[in-house]
A and B are shown apart, each in its own frame.
Chain A
Amino acid sequence: MSSDSKTNSYELNSEQFLDLPKDVLDILESVSDPEIPVLSVIDLGVIRSVQLDEDHVTIQLTPTYSGCPAMDVIGDDLDRAFAKAGYTTTIQLIMSPPWTTDWITERGRKAMEEYGIAAPLEPTADKDVLLNNKKLVKCTNCGSTNTKLVSQFGSTACKAMFQCDDCLEPFDYFKCLK
């Protein structure tokens, strides 16, 4: 695809994003999930690779859930953000390997919790809480784990609805996906 590229052409995967030129990384971090605005696309882990050929950026994007409507918006937002800085873009939607909640960064998990969405637990614990067998999800309001599942499905495909039995706060839980 980039066989005719000249200088500054390199491909990076998510672990190496810090090696990107600062202006490019800043643009990526300025684009966030429209439904969870505190999560940048980097923190959400949906950017799988970035290839830079002078002023053209090729970005591989992977959806969280197949039907997530946020993906089209994220693609458009990336186009716009890069265009503003004088870059042209190609956005490729890739399905494999499938997205996992493991790709949400530590910083992303923190931002999510502060925003009022409980971060995903490990698979076994996740199953236990989604079947309401164990109380493990921490209330984002008071920190108590005396919480219960209200609905396996929440406001978006990636979340379930919970409620705290201590402070009574209803909140979202970001489901584990592996």
Chain B
Amino acid sequence: MKPIRELNPQFLESKENKQHLIDYLLGVADNYLILAQRLGELCGHGPNLEPDIAITNISLDLLGQVRSFYQYISQIKGDGSTEDDIAFLRKEREYRSVLLVQQPNTDFAYVIARQFFFDVFNKMFLNALQQSADETLRALAFKGIKEASYHERFSGDWLKRLGDGTEESHDKAQKAVNDLWVFTDELFQVNESDSAMIDAGVAPDMLQLREYYYEKVENLLTEATLEVPEVPYFQKGGKNGLHSEYMGYILAEMQYMQRTYPNSKW
């Protein structure tokens, strides 16, 4: 592991650096928000009690993590905007979440495959983020990784159970894996702000993570007796604000209260 270098205290005095950091953090945090929202839809609708509780627990963990990130963003912005403003008052194009987390809860196999693809990434990412030059991010990573590890255990175990289960569960798991595979590469997409943060030592090197990610995912798919899909291209766009048709519906439901009753609070 590379030694942690501390961020130069003057780093955030540059307007450009500040904007890059905010954009970078949104790219990380929006994934948590949208996935939490998707999982939250399943509250009371899980296939049976235990996975229902597990899925909503995971949703809650992700919501907790996204709050910490948004609080940090509002602190950096320093313009009086709150975590709620960041969560609820942006337009679709301003969200930086990847396409993977927007994909619908088609069936339990989709929920598990989507979760597994995200959890493996998230655990690796938070592990690397513990070496960030930014002290707050180190703390958030250190806190979040324990939860992320637990999530990965849940989704990984279930994917194995489905893949190596009955013929029907195997086929459904394979279909979900095939359909969602095209969205995995976007997790590692590096834009201009990401590059700036990687150079500053704030963000981990995504290319390195990418290699390890596919190795890990492929090993588990094999263990689950599932085939590793081969696709000619990967689908991307969400990270640049170009979302799938699902995003508008997600936001409509998520933002409804704040849009209808502005400034309403719990």
Contact = CB atoms under 8 A, between A and B. Distances in A.
Interface of A: 63, 65-69, 95-98, 150-155, 157, 161, 177
B53 A151 contact: yes
14 contacts: A65-B147, A66-B65, A66-B68, A66-B144, A67-B62, A67-B65, A67-B67, A95-B140, A98-B139, A151-B50, A152-B54, A153-B53, A161-B50, A161-B53
Q: Give the dominant DSSP class at A's interface.
A: loop
Q: Give the dominant DSSP class at B's interface.
A: helix
B146 A67 contact: no
Contacts of B142: 96-98
B143 interface: yes
Query: Counting chain B CB atoms within 10 Å of each CB, which of A66, A69, A150 scores highest?
Result: A66
Contact of A95 (B50, B57, B139, B154): B139
B64 interface: yes
Interface of B: 49-50, 53-54, 57-58, 60-65, 67-68, 136, 138-140, 142-144, 146-147, 150, 153-154
A154 B67 CA distance: 22
A150 B54 CA distance: 12
B61 A157 contact: yes
A15 to B, nearest CB: 21
Given A150-B50, A153-B50, A68 B64 contact: yes
Given A65-B147, A66-B144, A68-B64, A157 B57 contact: yes
Contacts of B65: 66-67
Contacts of A155: 53
Contacts of B58: 153
B47 to A, nearest CB: 13
Query: Counting chain A CB atoms within 10 Å of each CB, which of B57, B63, B136, B139 scores highest?
Result: B57
A175 B57 CA distance: 14
Nearest to B60: A67
A95 B143 contact: yes
Contacts of B147: 65-66, 157
Given A66-B67, A67-B67, A157-B60, A151 B54 contact: yes
A109 to B, nearest CB: 20
A151 B54 CA distance: 8
A123 B56 CA distance: 24
Contacts of A150: 50
A95 B68 CA distance: 9
Given A67-B61, A96-B143, A157-B57, 5 more contacts: A96-B138, A98-B143, A98-B146, A151-B50, A161-B53
